[in-house]
Structure 1
Amino acid sequence: MRILLVEDDSETAAYVRRGLIEAGHTVDHAADGQEGLFLASGGGHDVLVVDRMLPKLDGLSLVRALRAAGVTAPAIFLTARAGVGDRVEGLDAGGDDYLAKPFAFAELLARVNALARRPRLQQETTLLRVGDLEMDLLRHTVSRAGQRITLQPREWRLLEFLMRRKGEVATRTMLLEAVWDFHFDPMTSVVETHISRLRSKIDKGFDRPLIHTVRGAGYVVRDDG
């Protein structure tokens, strides 16, 4: 198996690279995000092992760029940031697994082998659709029935989170963690306020709503038409 290791810490890189080679794998190493992007863009890697905090281009941006370019090799993030919000960010950026530092090499090897056994994903779409609502992740635009909609950054994150999970109910807690990075309930109406603003932009003036409240559960974006 051919593995790309993107790690700027020389000691960690040498340790991981030596262990992977001893396990029978071929390892390419990049010491910064730009070099990692260049090497990974060429394809041919079975698994990417990416440090999150990298010089020149951080790990999240690296994986996002690869997914946008159609590189589907599974990626595992190595990072000292192990909070729930950090893990969600990594997975939403296109990562497939997340391992906190310090880690045992045996666990890393097991996770790498598990990722290699997964069926390879198809190219990730850069266009999200629910009914006549479209979100273009590359152009950073939103439109409904061809009408351009302007969103504030937090509104964009909220709508993207809901559209990526179309048809699935997102709880208030999930939204607070993913959109506001709150790991506690601030006891405010921040979620409800932003949902209301989104509805005024996404649903108002159209023949059917796409943003629905599931009483006692949360919110969902779906097309009931």
Structure 2
Amino acid sequence: MSGLEVCEKMRSLHVNVPIVVLTGNAEIIDKVSLLNAGADDYVTKPFNTEELRARIAAAGRRQVRNHIRSIIKYRDLKIDIDTHKVSRLGIDIKLRRKEFDILEYLIIHQGRIMTRDMIMNHVWSSHTNSWTSTVDVHIKHLRDKIDKPFEKQYIKTAYGLGYKVDEEII
């Protein structure tokens, strides 16, 4: 997937995260296309690492949620990022904070296998002393709430690798 396609896909799914694109293309028309597709900033190669870090940090600081709620929909699952409420087929599902963060991470990265380490680094700070088996335990609890009561199972195991949800074809 190109940076442009990633931006378009994330914005079509109403994923409200800052997007900084690292690109080898310095053409103005490409930069404008990326920004119009939803990128918040771009950095062209070759790049300075300090500048990239600063731009990512600035994009994060600029992100201010507006009065419109950020809702991610995945099939019959609805995730409200602002209120941390989740429902499936209209049934409210109570999730703990880490379960919510894991679910959001998997949905945002749908179609891709997320390793235990990737999930650990995203959901827990890199300063934690937790084991990757902690991820497995949280996935089990998440499945009990998101998948088990329903006919279709969304959270898949990629044996020896990690977890994923299938990409939703729009």
TM-score normalised according to structure 1 size = 0.45
> 1:163 and 2:88 equivalent?
no
Which one has the largest radius of gyration? 1
Amino acid at match of 1:153: R
Q: How many residues get paired?
A: 121
Distance 1:168 1:188, change over 3 A: closer
Q: Deviations over 1:47-82 (max 9, x none)?
A: xxxxxxxxxxxxxxxxxxxx9xx9xxxxxxxxxxxx
Partner of 2:37: 121
Q: Distance in 2 between matches of 1:200 and 1:145?
A: 16
Distance 1:176 1:211, change over 3 A: same
Q: Please report the RMSD computed on the Cα atoms of aligned residues, expressed in angstroms.
A: 3.5
Aligned pairs for 1:1-225 within 5 A: 93-96=17-20, 116-117=31-32, 118-122=34-38, 126-182=70-126, 186-222=130-166
Q: Deviations over 1:75-129 (max 9, x none)?
A: xxxxxxxxxxxxxxxxx8414269xxxxxxxxxxxx9x89954341259x92222
Bigger relative CO (Cα 8 Å, ≥ 6 apart): 2
Distance 1:171 1:188, change over 3 A: closer
TM-score normalised according to structure 2 size = 0.59
> Any unmatched runs of 5+ in structure 2?
1-10, 40-68
Q: Distance in 1 between matches of 2:38 and 2:17?
A: 16
Cα distance, 1:208 vs structure 2: 1.6
Q: Distance in 2 between matches of 1:200 and 1:223?
A: 21
| Structure 1 runs of 4+ with >6 Å offset | none
Q: Distance in 2 between matches of 1:192 and 1:121?
A: 36
Distance 1:114 1:172, change over 3 A: farther
